[in-house]
Amino acid sequence: MVIRNQIMREGLRRMMADDCGHVESCAEPDDLSRIVPRGENIILISDLFVPRGEYRALETLQERRPCAKIVVMGSSSDPRRISEIFRAGAAGYVSGDSAFNALRFQLDLVALGEKVYPAALIDHVSRAPSPAPSRAPWPDLSAREAAALDGLVAGLPNKTIAQRQAVSEATVKLALKTLFRKMQARNRTHAAVLAREHGWNARDRMH
C-alpha cells in the first residue's frame, strides 16, 4: 500500500497483516519497486497521488507492475473524478472512511477480478436520465441473454435468475458468458452499469 500518512499507513498495514498475511507499505509510489516483487499484487494507493487531471502515478504503476491490480483509496464523492480514475486504469475506488471489514471485502473482490465501484458513482449512473431502451447497442441478444441481463440489472443472483427462467444455474452462467462477450463487459457489475447507462429496463417477466 502507498499512503503518505505514517500513522494511517502503519495502522492499516498491521490490521491487514493480521488478517491476510504479508503486507508491504511505503510512503511514495517510487518506493514500490524496492519493497514489492513483480506479480499479481493488489496495490492500494492514496488518491493524494492521483490529483484531478494528472494520472501519471497510475500510468507509472501500470508500466512497472502490469499484472498488478490498482485500487485507489480516497474521500471523493465526485462521480466525474472517480470515473476518470477508472478510465486511467484503476481496478477499484474505496472510501478512506470504510470500516476495515468493508475494505477487506472490497479488496477480496478485486483479487477475484471484480471492479469495485463506490456508491457515489453507482448513484450517479442510476439517477442519470436514461435514453430509450431501443438505443441499447446489443440488438442480437437472445431471449435467454436478455432475461439474464434483466436479472443483473435487478440485482438478482444466478440462482434466482435460473429459478425465474426455470433453467439450471449452469445455463444462466453460459448465457452470462455470452452476454458479457456481446456487451464487451468485464463482469456482471460492469454489465449492469452499461445496461443502465443505455436505458435498459428489466422486463415485466422479472417482476
Low-confidence ranges of the chain (pLDDT < 70): 20-21, 35-40, 53-54, 124-136, 201-207
Q: Where are the domains of the chain?
A: 6-125, 131-206
Cα gap 179→175, rounded to integer Å: 6
Pick from 112, 80, 118: which is nearest to 96 by CA? 118
pLDDT tens-digit map of 137-161: 787 889 899 999 998 888 888 999 9
Q: What is the pLDDT of residues 25-59, one digit of tens each?
A: 888 877 777 766 666 678 888 877 777 766 777 77
pLDDT at 179: 92
pLDDT of residue 39: 67
Q: What CATH number labels 131-206?
A: 1.10.10.10
Give backbone dihedrals phi and psi of 74, rounded to 5 degrees, phi first.
-165, -165
Rounded CA gap, 196 and 149, in Å?
10
pLDDT at residue 95, rounded to an integer: 87
| Whether the Cβ atoms of residue 24 and residue 52 lie closer than 8 Å to each other | no
Residue 72 identity: V
3-class secondary structure for 134-157?
HHCCCCCCCHHHHHHHHHHHCCCC
What lies within 8 Å, CB to CB, of 184 at 6+ separation is none
Q: Quick one: cell of 2?
A: 502507498
Question: pLDDT at position 38, please?
Answer: 66
Exposed/middle/buried for residue 40 (C-beta within 10 Å: 0-12, 13-18, 19+): exposed
Q: Which fold has domain 6-125?
A: Rossmann fold (3.40.50)
The model carries a pTM of 0.55
